[in-house]
Amino acid sequence: MLAQFLSLLLFAGVLIATAQLAVAQTPTAAELGRSQDLFEAGNALLTKGDTQQAAAKYTEAISITPSEPLPYINRGVAYVMLSRFAEALQDADKALAILETGLYPTKQKAIVYEIKGMVAQAQKNQQLAIDYFSKSLDLEPSNAKSFLNRGNSYRLLKQFEPAMKDFGRAIELDASLPHSYVNRSAVHASLKNFAAALQDSDEAVRLDANNEVTYYNRAGIYIALGKYNEALVDYNKAIALKPRTEFFHARGLLYFIVGKYDLAIKDNTEAIALDAANAHAYGDRAVAYSKTGNDAKAIEDIRKALALRGESAIMRYSLAYFLYKTGQFSTAVDEATKVISLAPEWQAPYRLRANCNIKLGNQVKAKADQAAALKLSPKNKPSESETFISIDLLNLEDISQ
């Protein structure tokens, strides 16, 4: 069970550094100087991570020199970082309209397309993001960060070959970016090339030893390689740098793998405390509770997980199993039936429902489920994108009884 990778993108990396404003209209010298000062103050704030205040400074600059594209461009970057995507797109379009009216550096238009690409990427429209990043690269073909961001959109679409090419090109242009190695490592991991994935992860950590995501992602590689002690060290480092819900959830998964169910419960509780909507933390804590014999809490948690996440064949199967364990056979039959409607080619819910029917004395139904199960391959397990603990029980009651 490999922890899901977190993407590392460069948002502030597209920021236009301090530049002399050159407006189409003619402000007074004092107005131009004030706008320039506000623009530079916004850049300084954005570099420090004070994104909200940076956007406010750019807004002030725009109020003085509304025909200057640079404050729109950098405010668009700030809005992306604040997840204010509609406003980011408005600024990008405004900047493009201004840029079309005169002779401006090509880099400025390239950054506008980068902003539009990042918005599309954040909104999970990866093909549109690729189109925008490609336009940016047409204008500025030596921009490593554009290759990195486009490569990540390819990766998210599982188009691994172009993703690898883009990450490789990003590294050729700028080998100092840990982001490129992290994301290429994720592609290697998806292709089950864990040795290459680990090599890239090691390089990412070497380049940025204070980035919590690099440790988190390398821990996932270590788990795939069965190096659980090393994975634990990396999860501990990631959490020490920045305690995030996904880090506690992932470490809880590791504790579950090695049989430390109490620690798995503790970490998933921490994950839930940081994000009460973390459905998979509830789901994984439920399985850990069941392993410790606390099936009442397991049922409570798995119901919360389903309420938060929406439908999931694997989680609903877990609920059916917990109900079976606690002797609630009729309700377990109902839940197993729901699982079958969601994943009709999965063998496990037929076997579980058959066992419930045996307990209820419904031998005819049990044998029908047995016959259906025998026609299915145990490999036909539903594929659900997010990582969470699943139960695949094929050896419950003897159906032949």
Please give the mean pLDDT across all residues of the chain: 89
List the one residue out of 354, 393, 357 whose CA is nearest residue 372: 354
Q: What are the b/e assignments for 160-175, b being 16+ CB within 10 Å?
A: beebbebbebbbebbe
First to last CA, the chain: 35
Per-residue pLDDT at 211 exceeds 50: yes
Per-residue pLDDT at 200 exceeds 60: yes
The predicted structure's pLDDT at residue 383: 78
Q: How many CB atoms lie within 10 A of CB 398?
A: 8
Tens-place pLDDT, residues 84-115: 999 999 999 999 999 998 888 899 999 999 99
Tens-place pLDDT, residues 249-276: 999 999 999 999 999 999 999 999 999 9
The predicted structure's pLDDT at residue 8: 40
The predicted structure's pLDDT at residue 391: 56
Q: How many CB atoms lie within 10 A of CB 43?
A: 23
Tens-place pLDDT, residues 36-52: 999 999 999 998 989 99
The predicted structure's pLDDT at residue 10: 42
How many residues are given for the chain?
A: 401
Per-residue pLDDT at 118 exceeds 90: yes
Tens-place pLDDT, residues 335-394: 999 999 999 999 999 999 999 999 999 999 999 999 999 999 877 888 775 555 655 544
Give the pLDDT mean for 179-191: 94
Per-residue pLDDT at 121 exceeds 70: yes
